[in-house]
Structure 1
Amino acid sequence: MSEAKKSEWNSNFAFMMAMIGSAVGLGNIWRFPNVLYSNGGGSFMIPYIVSLFLLGISFVLVEYAVGYKFKKSIARILFTISKKLEPVAWFIVLVVFLIATYYVCVVGWDLIYIILSFTKAWGANPDLFFSSNVLQATDSLSGIFHFVPMVLASVFAIWVVAWLIIKRDLNDGIGRVNKILLPLLCLIVIGIVAFSLTLPGASIGYSQIFAPDWNALTNLNVWLAAFGQIIFSLSLGMAIAMTYASYLPDKTNLVDSAVTVAFSNSAFEVFNSIGIFSILGFMALTSGIPFNELVTEGTGLAFVVFPQVFNTMGGIGHIIGPLFFICILFAGITSLIALLEVVSYSISEKFDINRKKTTIMVCVIGFLISTIFTTGIGSTILGIFDAYLNNFALLFGILLECIIFGWIYKFDDLIETLNKNSKIKVGKTWKAVIKYILPICIFVFWIQGVYSTLTTADTLSVAIMLLLTAIVIIVPVILSKLPAANEEYYNTE
C-alpha cells in the first residue's frame, strides 16, 4: 500500500490552515487589486460575492466531497469511477505540475527582492533594473542558452525548501509549515495595512473600493472577471481540495469547513487590497502619477511599482519593503507545496513509491523544467506557459470535472457525504449549480480565454503552445497505460 495513503490530518485546524494556505497565494496579493479596480471598484464586489457562492464554494464542495469519500488521489479516484477517465486525472496532475514549475520561478524572483529590499538596490529605475539586472531579459531565441545565475540560484533554493517540506510526514511537513507561515503572513499583512492607512494620500487609494461604478454590473466581462478571480484565487480545478480532503478523518464537518476556507481567502484578498490601494494612493499623491497608471497586476506591481513606492517612503521603506516581499514569499510557499502534494500523492499511490523518493523525483524533474525560466528568454516563455495553462488547460480541467462528477458519477452520493456531519446542508440547488449553471459559465469563460490567448499569440507563443498541447495529451495517456505497482490501485470498491 502507498505510504501517502496512510496519512491523515491530526486535527481539523491543520487541514483548515493547509487549505487556506493553498488558496492564499500570489493572486490574492497582486492580481485581485487590479481586477477590483478595473471592473467597477466597489460594485465589483457584487459579482465577486455571487461568484464566490455560485462557483467558488460550490466547486470546492465537490472536491471536498470526492476526496473525503474516496480517500484516494485524483488519479485513483477517476480510475475507480471509470478506467477510461484515468487520462483525465493525469491531465489535471500534469497541468498542476507544469504550473508549479513556473510558479517556483516567480517565488524565486521574490526571494531575490527580499534581499534587495533592505538596501533598495533596484535604484531609481526599478523597471529597467528588473528586466535588465534581475531577469537579464532578451527577446532573442539565443537567450535560451544564457542562464541567469542569480535567478537560477534562487529557483534552486525554493525547490530545496519545497522538497524539505513535502518530503516529511503530512502533519510534520505541510501541516506544521502552514500553521507557522499563515499566521505570520496575516500578522505582517495587518501591520502593513495599518501602516498604509496612516500615509498621506491613503484615501485616494482605498476610496476606490468604496466608490462603485454601478454601470459595470451590466457588463458581461465584469462578471467573467469575477468568475476568473474566484477560479485563480481558490485554486479551483487543481485537485488541491480533493487531495487535502482525502487525508481527513471520519466525521469531519465538510460544508462548514469549505465555507470557512472560501470566506477566509476572500477576506484576506479584500483586506490586503485596502493596504495595496492605500500605498498606491500615497504614491499617486507624492509622485503626481495618476492612480490608474499605478494600478497593475502581476510582476509589474510587485517588482516595479512597489519598489518605486518604497523609494519614495524614505527610511521606513527599508522596513515595509522586506515585509511586503516576505508576504509574497510565505503566500507563494504555502501554495507551492499544495500544488506539489497533488502531484506527489498521485504518483506515490499508483507506483507505490514512498513519500521521500516521490518528492525527490518530482522536485528534481520540476527543477530541470524550471531552469528554462531562468534563462534570458525565460520570462517570455513563462508568460506563454501561464497564458496557456490558465486560459486553456486549467479551465478545461474544471469543465471536465463538472461533467464527470455532475453527470457520470452518482451525484446524490456526494450530497449524502457532505450532509452527513455538516450543520449547513446542501441539496437540489447545489446539484443544479454543478450540473447546469457551472459548466455553462466555465465553458463561456474557457472560450473567452482560448480566444484571447490565440488572438494575441505570436509565432513563438504558437510553437510553445503546440508543444504544450502535445505534452498534456501524450504524457497523461502514457501514465495511464503504465501498470500500477500498487495492487490496491485496481481495487474499485
Structure 2
Amino acid sequence: MQREKWSSRVGFVIAGIASAVGLGTIVRFSYLVGKNGGGTFLIPYFIAIAFFGIPLMILEFSIGKHFGSSVVPAFSNIRKRFKWAGLFIVFVSSMILSYYLVITGWVLAYFLQFLMSKPIPFSQFTGSYYPLLFFFITGGIAFSVIRAGVRHGIEKVSRLLVPLLFAVLFLLLASALTMSGTREGIKFYLIPDLSKLSEPSIWTEAFGQAFYSLGVGLGIMLTYGSYMHEETSKKGTSTFSEIEKNAALIALFDTIAAVLGGFVIFPIVFSYGLNPDSGLQLAFITLPLIFQKIGFGSLLGTVFFFLLFIAATSSAISLLEVPVATLIDYWDYGRKKATFLVSVCIMLIGIPSALSYTALKLELSGNYILDLYDLAFGTEGVIAAGLILSIVAGWYMGPDILIKEIWGSKSKQGLFSLIIKFFIPFVLSILLVIRFI
C-alpha cells in the first residue's frame, strides 16, 4: 500500500500548527502562568520552547522522514529492542487523548449552552452523565477525521480550523483589551518575579507545558514527518533547512497563540477580581459566571468556547493519528479498521476520566482520575517520552543519519550532536528526578 503524503509543505505546516495549538496552549498555559507568578513562568517556558522543543521537533520530523513510518516501526528499525520505547510513546499519547477528549466534550457542551443562551453551573453539568455523552461525541468527531486519511482528513480539516482559530482569538483579544483590568492583568502577565526562578517546580512545569503544547515526545511530529514529500524537507537556504524552518514556524504560531491567549484571559481575570491560578475552574466555572453578568456575555461566551473547541479538536485529531498510524504501519491494518479499533480502546480507557467529576466521583488517593492522568501523562509522561526519544535517536540511531536527513551534510554535526546526545537528555533527566523527589 502506498503511503499517504501531505499535498504540500503548506498543508504539512498548517497540520502541525493545528496539532500544536490546543487546549494546553490556551487554557493550561494561562493557568500555569497564573500558578507560577505570572511573567516569571514565561522565562523557563521560552527557554524550553527554543532550546528543547524545537530541536526535539526537528529530531522527530527527521526520524519520521527517514524511515517513512510511525513511532513503533521507526524505533524498531533503529534497534529491534527499542520497540518498547515506541510503544511507551504511543501509550503516553493515547492516555493523554483519553482524558483530553473528556475536556473537549466539556468545551463542546459549554459552547452549545452559550449558543442557546442556557448555560448551567459546572457542578450541575458534571454531576450528570452529559460529560460521558459529550466525550463520546468528541471522540466520534476525531474518529471521522482520522478515518478520512491524511490529505482528505487531517490536512483538509486543519486548513479550515487554523485560520478560524486565529480569527476568533483576535476577536476575543480586541474585546478583552477594552476591559478595566487590562493594565493590571498585563502587568501581572509580563513582569517577572525573578526570585521565583529558583523554584524547581516552575522549571518542570514549564518544560512539561512546552512539550505538551508542541506535542513533542508524543510521536505526533514523528508521524507527521513520515508523511512528508522529499521536496518538503530538502535544503532550503544556506542557513536553515526546510525541516528547521517547518519546526520553527509551528513553534512560533503555537507560542503566538499561547501568548495571545494570556492577553485574552488575564484582562478578564483582573477586571473581575478572579484567581489567576484556578486552572480548569477558571474556564468552566468562573468565566461562564462572568459571561452571564456582563453585556453581550452570551456572545462572548459563545465565541470563547468556540475558540477552545477548535483548538481542542485539532489537537485531539493529531493525538489519535499516533496509535492509528502505528496499527497501519506495524501491524498492516487498513486505516478504517485501525481507526475503529483505536477509537474503541480510547473510549474505554477514557470512561473513568469522563466519570471523574460526576456523582460517582471516581478518585484515587483523594484526586480525580482525570487530574491524576493529567499529572502522570501530561507532565511526567511527556518529559519521559522526550528523554527516551533523544537517547534512542542520539545514541543509537546516530547523528550522522539525522544530519544528512536535515541538512544533507555534516556541517552542523558538532552542535546538533551535542544538543541531542548530551544537553537534552541531561536536563530532562534532572527535571524528572526533581519531579519525583
CA distance in 1, matches of 2:277, 2:173: 17
Look up the match of 1:413: 401
Calculate the TM-score normalised by the size of structure 1: 0.81
**Aligned counterpart in structure 2 of residue 159 of structure 1, from 125, 139, 154:** 139
Question: C-alpha displacement at 1:269, in angstroms?
Answer: 0.3
Q: 1:272 to 1:248 in 2, by over 3 A?
A: same
Alignment of 1:116-265 (within 5 A): 116-118=113-115, 121-122=118-119, 129-131=121-123, 133-136=124-127, 148-251=128-231, 252=233, 253-265=242-254
CA distance in 2, matches of 1:258, 1:426: 17
RMSD: 2.1
Look up the match of 1:352: 332
* Contact 2:208 2:383 (C-alpha < 8 Å) held by counterparts: no
CA distance in 2, matches of 1:45, 1:99: 24
Look up the match of 2:238: none
Alignment of 1:30-179 (within 5 A): 30-118=27-115, 121-122=118-119, 129-131=121-123, 133-136=124-127, 148-179=128-159
CA distance in 2, matches of 1:47, 1:393: 19
**Aligned counterpart in structure 1 of residue 7 of structure 2, from 7, 10, 17:** 10
1:329 is matched by which residue type in structure 2? F
* Contact 1:391 1:449 (C-alpha < 8 Å) held by counterparts: no
CA distance in 1, matches of 2:344, 2:199: 46
Alignment of 1:358-437 (within 5 A): 358-375=338-355, 376-378=360-362, 380-420=368-408, 426-437=412-423
1:445 equivalent to 2:437? Answer no
* SS across alignment from 1:437: helix
1:296 equivalent to 2:255? Answer no
Calculate the TM-score normalised by the size of structure 2: 0.91
Q: 1:369 to 1:47 in 2, by over 3 A?
A: closer
Question: C-alpha displacement at 1:181, in angstroms?
Answer: 0.8
Q: Rg larger in 1 or in 2?
A: 1
* Contact 2:35 2:276 (C-alpha < 8 Å) held by counterparts: no
* SS across alignment from 1:208: helix
Question: C-alpha displacement at 1:227, in angstroms?
Answer: 1.8
Q: 1:219 to 1:391 in 2, by over 3 A?
A: closer
Identical residues among aligned pairs (%): 29
* Contact 2:201 2:435 (C-alpha < 8 Å) held by counterparts: no
Question: C-alpha displacement at 1:120, in angstroms?
Answer: 5.4
Question: C-alpha displacement at 1:40, in angstroms?
Answer: 4.2
* SS across alignment from 2:188: coil
CA distance in 1, matches of 2:93, 2:203: 25
Question: C-alpha displacement at 1:281, in angstroms?
Answer: 2.0
- Listed as ranges, the gaps of 5+ residues in structure 1 are 124-128, 137-147, 285-290, 452-493
CA distance in 1, matches of 2:41, 2:330: 44
CA distance in 1, matches of 2:402, 2:412: 10
- Listed as ranges, the gaps of 5+ residues in structure 2 are 234-241
CA distance in 2, matches of 1:98, 1:71: 25
1:315-349 Cα shifts (integer Å, max 9, x gaps) = x1110101111111111111111011111011111
Look up the match of 2:261: 272
Question: Number of paired residues?
Answer: 420
CA distance in 1, matches of 2:39, 2:101: 33
* Contact 1:206 1:281 (C-alpha < 8 Å) held by counterparts: no
Q: 1:350 to 1:371 in 2, by over 3 A?
A: same
